């Protein structure tokens, strides 16, 4: 039996070469070019990357031509460490169109990767671009509107209406009071025709009325404006009219209208009303009215300032669809200021009260 003696220098050199071999391979892989690496035919479905360590410096690695279109549905990347520097990695040409539905990336650390230039084609995931005629511009999807035609917003339709606030008889004064308004238009623009006054039922059958034709437009949520022309049969004069009407706080119906007559006289009418509902049908409605003038007109029984005050309380019962409401009430009228003296000189009542009965309706 022969015994070979090996010197210590030879053993040390061999060990050094064995240690340097992995380091040389790692250094060589850092500059590897994966640009032409084709993995499309490889079956990587059972590959386990759980212990794969990619924490090193892979900033110069080029994956632009790397083809990963094969079946990687069962690849496990749960333990893959990619925490290293990958900021300079080029993925622009990387093809990842293969089946990766089963890949597990739950534990992958990719915090340092730069995906800004990564090109991933996902156009086929939702069936591609929809056809040009997928949905019609009016969202009808080709279904017609039937016998009723295309729907429109109610606020844009021209409508009309008639409202009669007062049509009643005063027993004491033996006269019929009336106040009615009709309109045509939309919620934004209307034309209104309004008339109020009284008609005597005695021998002379005299009718005193103030009628106006005006343009109506909302000024806000609770207020509407009016402007037009008017005619007063009591003094036989025409006027320019402007007013505002709406709902004051606590649901008080308020209106104020000014009339400028051809002779320079200005008449101001102020009114307020409130509906106090006792139940779904019975309603108590108090009303107040004030009338003022800008100058004296003794021929028509007018003095400067406030001339007349009227108050009425009604108890109404709304029938049918609340469009018809018969009522009974009590009214009071009084002359104010210098108008009281003028009426006394003409031997007229300065104060009067009367029971009233009538009907309110609208359609």
Work out the mean pLDDT of the chain and round it to a whole number: 78
Asked if 17 and 46 touch (Cβ cutoff 8 Å), the reply is no
In this structure, what token pair is assigned to residue 127? Answer: 């069936």
Confidence of residue 6 (pLDDT cuts 50, 70, 90): very low
Q: What is the pLDDT at residue 64?
A: 53
What distance in Å separates the CA atoms of residue 212 and residue 237, rounded to the nearest whole number? 12
Per-residue pLDDT of 39-82, as tens digits, reads 555 555 555 555 555 555 555 555 555 555 555 555 555 555 55
What distance in Å separates the CA atoms of residue 228 and residue 239, rounded to the nearest whole number? 9
Q: What is the pLDDT at residue 85?
A: 56
- Bridge partners for 216 per DSSP: 190, 226
Q: What is the pLDDT at residue 183?
A: 97
pLDDT of 14 strictly over 60: no
Per-residue pLDDT of 106-161, as tens digits, reads 655 666 666 565 555 555 555 667 666 666 666 666 677 777 777 777 767 889 99
**Residue, of 286 and 347, whose pLDDT is higher:** 286
Per-residue pLDDT of 306-346, as tens digits, reads 999 999 999 999 998 899 999 999 999 999 999 999 999 98
Which residues, 6+ apart, have CB-to-CB distance to 189 below 8 Å?
215, 216, 217
Asked if 65 and 36 touch (Cβ cutoff 8 Å), the reply is yes
What distance in Å separates the CA atoms of residue 88 and residue 62, rounded to the nearest whole number? 9
**Residue, of 349 and 37, whose pLDDT is higher:** 349
Confidence of residue 204 (pLDDT cuts 50, 70, 90): confident
Asked if 274 and 285 touch (Cβ cutoff 8 Å), the reply is yes
Q: What is the pLDDT at residue 151?
A: 73
Q: Which CATH number fits domain 155-362: 1.10.3720.10, 3.40.50.300, 2.40.160.40, 3.40.830.10?
A: 2.40.160.40
């Amino acid at each position: 039996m022969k015994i070979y003696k090996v010197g210590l220098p030879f053993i040390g050199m061999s060990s050094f070469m064995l240690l340097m071999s992995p380091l040389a391979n790692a250094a060589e892989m850092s500059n590897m070019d994966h640009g032409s690496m084709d993995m499309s035919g490889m079956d990587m479905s059972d590959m386990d990357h759980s212990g794969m360590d990619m924490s090193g410096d892979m900033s110069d690695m080029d994956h632009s031509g790397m083809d990963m279109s094969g079946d990687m549905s069962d690849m496990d990347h749960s333990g893959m460490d990619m925490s290293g520097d990958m900021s300079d990695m080029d993925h622009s040409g990387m093809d990842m169109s293969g089946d990766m539905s089963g890949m597990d990336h739950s534990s992958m650390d990719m915090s340092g990767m730069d995906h800004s230039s990564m090109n991933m084609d996902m156009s086929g995931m939702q069936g591609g671009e929809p056809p040009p005629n997928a949905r019609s511009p009016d969202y009808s999807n080709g279904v017609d509107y039937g016998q009723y035609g295309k729907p429109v917003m109610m606020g844009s339709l021209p409508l009309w209406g008639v409202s009669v606030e007062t049509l009643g008889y005063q027993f004491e004064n033996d006269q019929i009071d009336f106040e009615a308004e009709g309109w045509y238009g939309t919620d934004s623009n209307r034309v209104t025709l309004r008339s109020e006054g009284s008609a005597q039922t005695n021998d002379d059958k005299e009718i005193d009325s103030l009628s106006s034709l005006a343009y109506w437009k909302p000024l806000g949520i609770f207020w509407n404006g009016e402007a037009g022309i008017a005619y007063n049969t009591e003094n036989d004069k025409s006027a320019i009219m402007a007013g505002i009407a709406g709902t004051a706080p606590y649901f008080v119906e308020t209106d104020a209208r000014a009339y400028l007559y051809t002779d320079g006289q200005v008449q101001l009418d102020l009114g307020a009303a409130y509906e106090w509902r006792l139940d779904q049908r019975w309603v108590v409605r108090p009303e107040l009215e004030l009338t003022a003038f800008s100058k004296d007109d003794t021929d028509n029984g007018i003095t400067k300032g406030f001339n007349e005050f009227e108050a009425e309380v009604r108890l109404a019962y709304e029938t049918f669809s609340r469009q018809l409401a018969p009522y009974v009430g009590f009214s009071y009228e009084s002359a104010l200021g210098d108008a009281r003296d003028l009426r006394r000189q003409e031997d007229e009542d300065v104060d009067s009260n009367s029971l009233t009965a009538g009907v309110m309706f609208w359609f």
